[in-house]
């Protein structure tokens, strides 16, 4: 039994494929020639049924129309499989491919490390589908969590926390996590994850994406940590053209597609932030360990309580925690009228990772901040969520 099945007759690409798998992926590669696959389709389906590969790669020598037709048949017959198309990517082809059941499109010129990452991602998707029995979209009764990361005041580390939370949850649910940058004017999710997105929120709210969730998914950017990102517009002026209703619709679409939707909001309580709050199942409230940050968060919480926009589940995070700051956890809890759930210590490693664009949970750096961020991730992990004590345990600041 081979984990990967290559359908094609391009010897040079097959060689790159085998080298990519041999370089660190479990399993091996089987091959069926293009002519055999097209001429004896029934025999191919029997081969797939008997051997049950996880990932099928449709080679670059296949005619695009034939490849898409074959992908559609495979998706209907074996909905759990991950099908990868090797072809020159264009927005039109990506849309056609996703509608035909293709999981990802790979350039024929892709290098071996890129091929390895894409195959690993496709394998994770297969495993996720196999475990859940899902075919990509969650039933209405099992919509994903929408986790908003909020603070009325800027500079408290929301984006760092949001990106690490997304990366951490990507290990819990590979390829079932998307992070949305709602700081539409000056968002930093792209730089925080070292991404250069081809598409942004501007594309996600377009008519084509709003009417078809498959189109929306094509506008997301894939990150090596097995998560997706919907980044802020490149031009801050574009933010004025995006309405709160459009944000609401995008989040509803993503909630039906992903197990976890992480929303990194901008500072203040803008109309976009308020729209996101209405969709959130969980809110991560972030405060720094300084008087102005704590007061801002307290004021913001008071406003939201009056507006009845406080999500059901609350997680209060104290960032840049330092016992020598002149404030104690008890002082901050008294001011917020809420317990501190997670305290993230001031950390050089955290600052360094943010500047590199590689979250500490992706790098798995050994640092006290890593431990705190993992504790935050565990609050949303079903395996540890139920075991967590219901009563509050005061965070310890060292």
SS3 readout for 171-209: HHCCCCEEEEEECCCCCCHHHHCCCCCCCCHHHHCCHHH
- Domain map (residue ranges) of the chain: 4-132, 140-385
* The CATH number of domain 4-132 is 3.90.79.10: no
What distance lies between CA 103 and its chain's CA centroid? 15
Calpha distance 81→115 (Å, rounded): 18
Sequence-ordered list of residues with C-beta below 8 angstroms from that of 205, at least 6 positions apart, any chain: 242, 243, 246, 247, 249, 250
Instruction: Check: CB of residue 356 under 8 Å from CB of residue 380.
Output: no
Instruction: Check: CB of residue 20 under 8 Å from CB of residue 115.
Output: yes
Calpha distance 233→347 (Å, rounded): 30
The one-digit pLDDT tens for each residue of the chain (398 residues) are 578 999 999 999 999 999 999 887 888 899 999 888 888 878 888 888 888 898 999 999 999 999 998 988 888 788 778 899 999 888 788 878 887 888 888 899 999 988 988 888 888 777 665 554 444 444 544 678 999 999 888 888 999 999 999 999 999 998 889 999 999 988 899 999 999 888 899 988 888 788 777 778 878 888 888 899 999 998 888 888 899 999 999 999 999 889 999 999 988 888 888 999 999 999 999 988 888 888 888 888 888 888 887 787 889 999 888 877 777 888 888 888 888 899 999 888 888 888 888 999 998 778 888 999 999 999 998 877 655 544 445 555 55
> The CATH number of 140-385 is which of 3.30.70.1560, 3.90.870.40, 3.40.50.300, 3.40.980.10?
3.40.50.300
Q: Do domains 4-132 and 140-385 have the same CATH topology?
A: yes
Calpha distance 359→353 (Å, rounded): 5
Calpha distance 253→282 (Å, rounded): 17
Distances, alpha carbon 242 to alpha carbons 75, 194, 255, 296, in Å = 35, 24, 19, 26
Calpha distance 219→217 (Å, rounded): 5
Instruction: Check: CB of residue 300 under 8 Å from CB of residue 204.
Output: no
Neighbours of 140 (CB within 10 A): 7
The percent of the chain in helix, strand and coil, each rounded to the nearest 5, is: 50, 15, 35
Calpha distance 74→80 (Å, rounded): 9
Instruction: Check: CB of residue 27 under 8 Å from CB of residue 3.
Output: yes
Sign of the alpha-carbon dihedral angle for 11, 17, 21, 27: negative
Calpha distance 380→375 (Å, rounded): 9
Distances, alpha carbon 136 to alpha carbons 131, 255, 258, in Å = 12, 12, 8
């Amino acid at each position: 039994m081979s984990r990967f099945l290559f359908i094609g007759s391009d010897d040079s690409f097959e060689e790159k494929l085998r080298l990519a798998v041999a370089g660190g992926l479990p399993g091996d590669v089987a091959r069926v020639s293009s002519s055999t696959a097209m001429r004896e389709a029934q025999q191919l389906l029997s081969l797939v049924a008997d051997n049950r590969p996880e990932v099928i790669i449709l080679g670059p020598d296949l005619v695009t129309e034939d490849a898409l037709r074959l992908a559609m048949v495979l998706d209907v017959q074996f909905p759990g499989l991950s099908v990868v198309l090797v072809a020159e990517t264009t927005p039109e082809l990506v849309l056609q491919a996703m509608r035909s059941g293709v999981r990802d499109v790979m350039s024929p010129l892709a290098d071996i490390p890129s091929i390895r990452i894409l195959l690993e991602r496709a394998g994770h998707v297969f495993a996720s589908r196999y475990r859940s029995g899902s075919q990509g979209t969650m039933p209405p009764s099992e919509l994903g969590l929408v986790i908003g990361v909020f603070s009325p005041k800027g500079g408290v580390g929301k984006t760092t926390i949001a990106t690490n939370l997304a990366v951490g949850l990507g290990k819990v649910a590979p390829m079932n996590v998307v992070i949305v940058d709602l700081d539409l004017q000056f968002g930093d999710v792209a730089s925080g994850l070292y991404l250069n997105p081809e598409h942004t929120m501007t594309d996600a709210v377009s008519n084509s994406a709003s009417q078809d969730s498959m189109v929306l998914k094509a506008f997301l950017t894939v990150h090596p940590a097995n998560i997706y990102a919907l980044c802020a517009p490149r031009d801050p002026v574009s933010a004025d053209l995006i309405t709160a209703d459009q944000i609401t619709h995008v989040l509803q679409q993503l909630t039906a597609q992903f197990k976890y939707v992480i929303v990194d909001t901008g500072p203040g309580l803008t109309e976009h932030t308020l729209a996101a709050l209405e969709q959130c199942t969980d809110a991560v409230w972030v405060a720094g360990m300084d008087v102005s940050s704590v007061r801002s968060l307290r004021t913001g919480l008071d406003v939201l309580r009056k507006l009845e926009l406080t999500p059901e589940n609350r997680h209060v995070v104290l960032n840049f925690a330092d016992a020598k700051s002149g404030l104690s956890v008890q002082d901050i809890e008294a001011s917020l009228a809420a317990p501190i759930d997670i305290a993230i210590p001031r950390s050089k490693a955290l600052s360094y990772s943010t500047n590199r664009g590689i979250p500490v949970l992706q790098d798995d750096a050994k640092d006290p901040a890593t431990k705190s961020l993992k504790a935050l991730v565990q609050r949303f992990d079903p395996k540890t969520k139920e075991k967590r004590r219901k009563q509050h345990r005061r965070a310890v600041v060292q």
